[in-house]
Structure 1
Amino acid sequence: MYLLYSCLLLFLLLLIYMVIIEPGRLTATHYFIRKSKKTVLDVTDAVDMYQGKTSITLAQLSDLHFSRWYPPRRLNGIIRQLLKTKPDMVIFTGDLIDDYSKWPHKKTTALVEKLKKIPAPMGKIAILGNHDYQHNGHYFVKEVLKKAGFTVLTNDQIFFSNQQVSLTIVGLDDDLFGQPSYEFEDTLAEWHLLLTHEPDSIEKFPLIHHFDLVLAGHSHGGQIRLPFYRKRTLGSMKYTHGLYLVTDQTLLSVNTGIGMTTLPARLGVAPEITYYHLEKEDKAATLVSPDSASSKTTGP
């Protein structure tokens, strides 16, 4: 009997952790990205040391999956972190809501107001994900994002330039339910970024080597990781989490997201914001990595 009670208690504690504690453990990872992608520096514990060597800092959010179980107030912690880290630009790689047919519309105003508070002096860019398309929800999602100050890219590209950097960002339509196009104009920007919700879609892109950095989401990193089991999702069967060097010039980063789908729980995959500190072009030949930064080869 005591063994049964002990097992029930452990199960209850694990359930509390999965449903309440881990979904609230917002983590941050900072990468210093050089034009040469063969080695990427994880500078999470040494961000200040790279401020003078960075031309622009991008923050990536993905897979928020707002629903009646995951309300807009969950953005509060994200906003607080972004106000502290002060990225130049915020990029959202899809799945704003979990299912439009079940969305509580009385929360729409609150969602727009929360999204408006996300700080990004150089702009907020977004693409759509497969869940945004469910039950024709993509019209609603686009409108919410635009009201909140996001530029939504659907097979579009946009150019940014200031005294520090120039970059072109291409945003693909969702690969599963949208109509992605793989033809874009080449530009003379220093950095070329590609945004796609499903990371496996890069295999369909004939000129992927033209991009320095590809940002994706969708996988949730499996959302619930067990020693003997990790779920893989159509669209992220090959690229599931972390960094991948897909060509000599192209780095793919798969963000494991913030919200949840199917089950309102996470285990072994805490919500994450990923920051990318792009190297100043004139520093490329002289950088020496300090001991406090860890060198990370690409691959999960």
Structure 2
Amino acid sequence: MNRRAFLKRAGAFTLALLGLSGGTIYYGREIEPSSLEIRKEAILSNKLPSVFHNKKILQFSDTHLGFNYSVKDLKKLVNLMNSRNPDIIVFTGDLIDNPKYLEDHNHTEIINALQPLEAPLGKYWIYGNHDHGGYGTETLFEIMESSGFKLLQNSHVKISEQNQSLILAGIDDMMLGKPDLQAALHQANPDLFTILLAHEPDFADEAVHYPIDVQLSGHSHGGQVRLPIIGHLYTPLYAEKYVLGKYVINNKLELYVNAGIGTTRLPYRLFCKPEIHEYTLHAKMS
């Protein structure tokens, strides 16, 4: 977003805040940002192997460490996620708010916070736009690798159990990376149920042309501040069409947009609580 657009949006946000009561402003800064919700969704498909029936995927996104969100907060999140007993954990980008955060903070603390996450079928992640940038890109890779997460950067894995499988793919960030969906799906069996991790939700308009069943995204923060009737005041580039919740594109691709955990630019959430997604897989029996 250019400076002019940002100032215009910031001005609209400020005017909106001025129109609210002091209690509402306090709530938006101090209460709602820590009021985490668990958004439960059922994913149904006759392509899902029976062995994956009732398997659980947890998605978290956009923690933005360093901007109003601390490692201590991250540890609380990890404890909550482990209490949900997920089979697979996915992180859809923006662990940090600014790569400079990694210069000023102990990497071991971040690793120690993320490492205890448990998922018998694996932990996977993709880059967000805030994660990329010189020093941060490589350092974050080392942190996530040490935390037991596998990076899906224009690549995929076949997750198997009892000789039955599904595909989990991921692309690089649209804004600061080089996304390549063809590379991500190279040699992937198109007949297998396929889930794509893409930080920016608007990538779904590209993904719908490929053998992908579900796309999981973040980036939008759900707008972060939403007002009655008006809805969200602002979303970033590539989160302008798909902002929050579930969408079905061309009666084919299911897109889920996560509102994220942290905040960025402004330390407020209003009518847009932070969330994690808990997906339960359901194999339709013919």
**Is the pair's TM-score, using the shorter chain for normalization, greater than 0.5?**
yes
Does structure 1 conserve the Cα–Cα contact (< 8 Å) formed by 2:67 and 2:263? Answer: no
> CA separation in 1, counterparts of 2:206 and 2:135?
25
1:89 aligns with 2:80: no
In structure 2, the residue matched to 1:29 is 39
In structure 1, the residue matched to 2:285 is 284
1:127 aligns with 2:165: no
> CA separation in 1, counterparts of 2:251 and 2:21?
46
In structure 1, the residue matched to 2:193 is 191
Q: Deviations over 1:162-199 (max 9, x none)?
A: 03851111110001110011212331664211110001
> CA separation in 2, counterparts of 1:180 and 1:93?
14
> CA separation in 2, counterparts of 1:113 and 1:63?
19
Deviation at 1:20, TM superposition (A): 1.9
1:241 to 219, 241, 244: 244
> CA separation in 1, counterparts of 2:67 and 2:178?
29
> CA separation in 2, counterparts of 1:126 and 1:270?
22
Does structure 2 conserve the Cα–Cα contact (< 8 Å) formed by 1:165 and 1:190? Answer: no
Supply the AA of the counterpart residue of 1:186.
A
TM-score, structure 2 as length reference: 0.84
> CA separation in 1, counterparts of 2:265 and 2:134?
16
> CA separation in 1, counterparts of 2:168 and 2:157?
5
- The 5-angstrom pairing of residues 139-158 of structure 1 reads 139-158=138-157
In structure 1, the residue matched to 2:217 is 216
Deviation at 1:13, TM superposition (A): 2.6
TM-score, structure 1 as length reference: 0.80
Supply the AA of the counterpart residue of 1:250.
L
Percent identical residues: 34
Deviation at 1:229, TM superposition (A): 5.2
Does structure 1 conserve the Cα–Cα contact (< 8 Å) formed by 2:102 and 2:136? Answer: no
> CA separation in 1, counterparts of 2:272 and 2:70?
20
SS in 2 for 1:114: helix
Provide the aligned length of Structure 1 versus Structure 2. Answer: 261
> CA separation in 1, counterparts of 2:151 and 2:239?
22
In structure 2, the residue matched to 1:44 is none
1:264 aligns with 2:263: no
- The 5-angstrom pairing of residues 174-185 of structure 1 reads 174-183=173-182, 184=185, 185=187
Change (3 A) 1:205 1:82: closer
Supply the AA of the counterpart residue of 1:14.
T
Deviation at 1:109, TM superposition (A): 1.6
Q: Which moved more, 1:28-37 or 1:268-277?
A: 28-37
Q: Which moved more, 1:134-143 or 1:258-267?
A: 134-143
> CA separation in 2, counterparts of 1:12 and 1:113?
38
Does structure 1 conserve the Cα–Cα contact (< 8 Å) formed by 2:32 and 2:270? Answer: yes
- The 5-angstrom pairing of residues 158-169 of structure 1 reads 158-163=157-162, 165-169=164-168
Supply the AA of the counterpart residue of 1:200.
D
Change (3 A) 1:135 1:60: same
Change (3 A) 1:33 1:20: same
> CA separation in 1, counterparts of 2:161 and 2:124?
17
Does structure 2 conserve the Cα–Cα contact (< 8 Å) formed by 1:56 and 1:164? Answer: no
Q: Which moved more, 1:216-225 or 1:95-104?
A: 95-104
Q: Deviations over 1:242-271 (max 9, x none)?
A: 111113332111111001100122111111
SS in 2 for 1:128: coil
Does structure 2 conserve the Cα–Cα contact (< 8 Å) formed by 1:92 and 1:126? Answer: yes
Deviation at 1:11, TM superposition (A): 4.2
| Unaligned ranges ≥5, structure 1 | 1-6, 38-51, 286-300
SS in 2 for 1:133: coil
